[in-house]
């Protein structure tokens, strides 16, 4: 299925988008982005993603973006793409200058790219059975709270995980404190307490992380925002990742050692189930932009709840 794009207001297949070689996003990674999940044609947690987008723009001082127009374009592109299940990507670069130069150009118009691709949920078996992670040093810069496209350290870490047969990497600082995953947030149960890294410059303020914090509160699971040390992983009884597309994803193995009993635990299962219910409620509600064209909305629930006793991971 063709991924649909909108480049500065022009709609075209993503494969036809051309970006100038002098664009600062291409040259310097001088750009910010967002990834949203579309369920049954509607963008989930749109306001939350939008707030983070505005915050990122401000942090890197990209100005001159008409945010109201951009949001409208996003919703129109989601509707025009017509995929009930989709992933929307939005990137804003500082634009192109006449020549390569590190300092901001005097006059550059930000480049605004939106793309909407059909979402194929490859995470689903991991959500049922749990995934493996490895740990690696966090080699990123000191403003990981900015959702910048400068992702080389994340890319290298993810590739190492792939080569190790793991799904994700938990990154740790020089003092051993774990920050987050290379492309997801994480939560752990230690001494019976659910905890996650506090927001700050060391991690991306994950939209899903914050949603899960709220969910935990609503269903009566107390949560502590404390950093976990890498060596603490051996005492952790449950571990899970959160992210826009991964949602709530159990981790059953870290650095080759089982987490808890080596299967998704009860806190993780409760939060997974609560997350599914919230998505179902969102789909059934009148809120959320970019409704799918008539006839494309599915009547069946998008996914069954995770089974209470999933098969043990391989
Ligand atoms: N990744 N931490 C990092 C470093 C991330 O890149 C992401 C998201 C998250 C989870 O954030 P959220 O819940 O808002 O999706 C945490 C996106 C999806 C990506 O780069 O593709």
pLDDT tens column, 119-143: 999 999 999 999 999 999 999 999 9
Indicate if the pLDDT at residue 312 is higher than 60: no
Catalytic status, residue 147: yes
123 Cα to the center of ligand 1, angstroms = 14
Which residues lie closer than 8 Å to 236 by C-beta, 6 or more apart?
Answer: 188, 189, 190, 228, 254, 259, 260
Half-sphere exposure of 143 (CA within 13 A, CB side): 11
Confidence of residue 306 (pLDDT cuts 50, 70, 90): very low
The conformation of residue 311, written as its DSSP 8-state character, comes to P
pLDDT band at residue 290 under the 50/70/90 scheme:
low
| Nearest ligand 1 atom to alpha carbon 154 | 4
Task: With a cut of 50, say whether residue 39 has pLDDT above it.
Answer: yes
**Ligand 1 centroid distance, CA of 99 (Å):** 32
- Ligand 1 atom 11: residue of nearest CA: 206
List the 10-13 sheet strands across, edge first.
10-13, 4-7, 111-118, 86-93, 31-39, 42-43
More confidently predicted of 307 and 119: 119
Atom of ligand 1 nearest to the CA of 185: 16
Task: Flag whether pLDDT at 108 surpasses 90.
Answer: no
Expressed in angstroms and rounded, the spacing between residue 205 Cα and the centre of ligand 1 is 9
**CA 248–ligand 1 middle distance (angstroms):** 13
* Average pLDDT of the chain, as a whole number: 93
% the chain with pLDDT above 90 = 89
Which among 42, 147, 162, 299 is annotated as catalytic?
147
Q: What is the pLDDT of residues 1-32, one digit of tens each?
A: 899 999 999 999 999 999 999 999 999 999 99
Average pLDDT over residues 39-62: 98
pLDDT exceeds 90 at position 302: no
Identify the weakest region by mean pLDDT among 26-40, 215-229, 287-301: 287-301
CA distance 94 to 112: 9
The pocket around ligand 1, CB under 6 angstroms, is made up of 35, 154, 180-181, 183-185, 204, 206-209, 242-244
Question: Per-residue pLDDT tens for 192-248?
Answer: 999 999 999 999 999 999 999 999 999 999 999 999 999 999 999 999 999 999 999
Residue 223 Cα, ligand 1 centroid: separation in angstroms? Answer: 21
Share of the chain above pLDDT 70, in %: 91
Neighbours of 262 (CB within 10 A): 12
286 confidence band (pLDDT: 50, 70, 90): confident
The pick from 29, 31, 33, 35 for probing ligand 1's pocket by mutation, whose C-beta has the most ligand atoms within 8 angstroms, reads: 35
* Residue 66 predicted with pLDDT over 90: yes
Which ligand 1 atom is the nearest neighbour of the CA of 49?
A: 14
Residue of 244, 248, 271 to mutate, ligand 1, most atoms within 8 A of C-beta: 244
Q: What is the rounded average pLDDT of the residues 71-85? A: 98
* Ligand 1 atom closest to 242 (CA): 13
Predicted confidence at residue 299, as pLDDT, reads 40
Q: What's the gap in Å between 102 CA and the centre of ligand 1?
A: 27
- What is the structure's pLDDT at 210? 98
Nearest to 209 by CA among 266, 235, 157, 247: 247
Taking the centre of ligand 1 as the mean of its atom positions, its distance from the CA of residue 206, in whole angstroms, is 6
- Given this model, what pLDDT does residue 309 score? 35
Instruction: Say what the pLDDT of residue 310 is.
Output: 36
Average pLDDT on 155-181 reads 98
Nearest-CA residue for atom 17 of ligand 1 = 183
CA 88 to chain centre: 11
Give the Cα separation of 314 and 113 in Å (integer).
40
Per-residue pLDDT at 165: 98
């Amino acid at each position: 299925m063709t991924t649909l794009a909108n480049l500065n207001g022009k709609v075209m297949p993503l494969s036809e988008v051309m970006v100038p070689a002098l664009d600062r996003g291409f040259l310097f990674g001088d750009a910010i982005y967002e990834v949203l999940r579309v369920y049954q044609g509607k963008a989930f947690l749109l306001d939350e993603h939008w707030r983070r987008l505005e915050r990122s723009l401000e942090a890197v001082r990209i100005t001159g973006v008409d945010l109201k127009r951009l949001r409208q374009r996003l919703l129109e592109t989601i509707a025009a793409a017509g995929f009930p299940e989709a992933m929307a990507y939005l990137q804003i670069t500082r634009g192109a200058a006449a020549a390569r130069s590190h300092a901001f150009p005097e006059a550059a118009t930000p480049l605004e790219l939106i793309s909407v691709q059909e979402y194929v949920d490859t995470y689903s078996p991991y959500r049922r059975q749990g995934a493996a992670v490895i740990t690696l040093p966090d080699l990123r810069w000191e403003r990981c709270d900015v959702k910048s496209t400068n992702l080389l350290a994340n890319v290298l870490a993810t590739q190492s995980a792939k080569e190790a047969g793991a799904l994700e990497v938990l990154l740790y600082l020089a003092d051993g404190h774990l920050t987050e995953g290379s492309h997801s947030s994480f939560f752990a149960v230690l001494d019976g307490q659910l905890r996650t890294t506090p927001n700050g410059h060391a991690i991306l303020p994950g939209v899903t992380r914050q949603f899960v914090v709220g969910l935990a509160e609503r269903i009566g699971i107390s949560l502590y925002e404390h950093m976990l040390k890498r060596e603490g992983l051996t005492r952790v009884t449950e571990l899970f990742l959160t992210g826009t597309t991964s949602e709530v994803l159990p981790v059953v193995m870290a650095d080759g050692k089982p987490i808890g009993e080596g299967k998704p635990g009860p806190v993780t299962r409760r939060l997974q189930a609560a997350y599914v219910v919230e998505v179902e409620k969102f789909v059934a509600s009148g809120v959320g932009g970019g409704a799918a064209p008539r006839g494309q909305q599915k009547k069946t629930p998008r996914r069954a709840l995770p089974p209470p006793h999933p098969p043990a991971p391989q």
